Amino acid sequence: MADQEILPNDYESWLEYAERAASEIEGAGGRFIRVFIDPNEFPRWCRTRGLLPDGRARTRFANFIAFREALSADNHH
């Protein structure tokens, strides 16, 4: 990751941070959607768009996956 120096050192620390952020967003009336970021798909997705694999790209990728999953769910109804 291009921004690995600012990421938490371990999964447990990252998860704690992510859950706290989710609670804050939901507490403010926002919608927080959890998505799995495939460690193989994400770098390919970044390369095809000319993006550095950093926090901004992770957010864009997560939005892309959430949108794709929402469309898929809508098509199954």
Considering Cα of 22, then 45, then 71, then 36, what sign does the dihedral take? negative
Q: Minimal CA–CA distance to 3: which of 36, 46, 40, 33?
A: 46
| Cα-trace Rg, the chain | 14
Return the pLDDT at 1. Answer: 67
Return the pLDDT at 63. Answer: 92
Q: Is the pTM of this model over 0.75?
A: no
Instruction: Spell out the domain ranges in the chain.
Output: 38-77
- Helix (H) and strand (E) counts in the chain: 3, 0
List the chain pLDDT tens, one digit each, 77 residues.
676 777 778 889 989 988 998 999 999 998 888 888 898 999 999 999 999 999 899 999 999 998 988 888 777 65
Distance separating alpha carbons of residues 2 and 55, to the nearest angstrom: 8
Determine contact, residues 66/35, Cβ cutoff 8 Å: yes
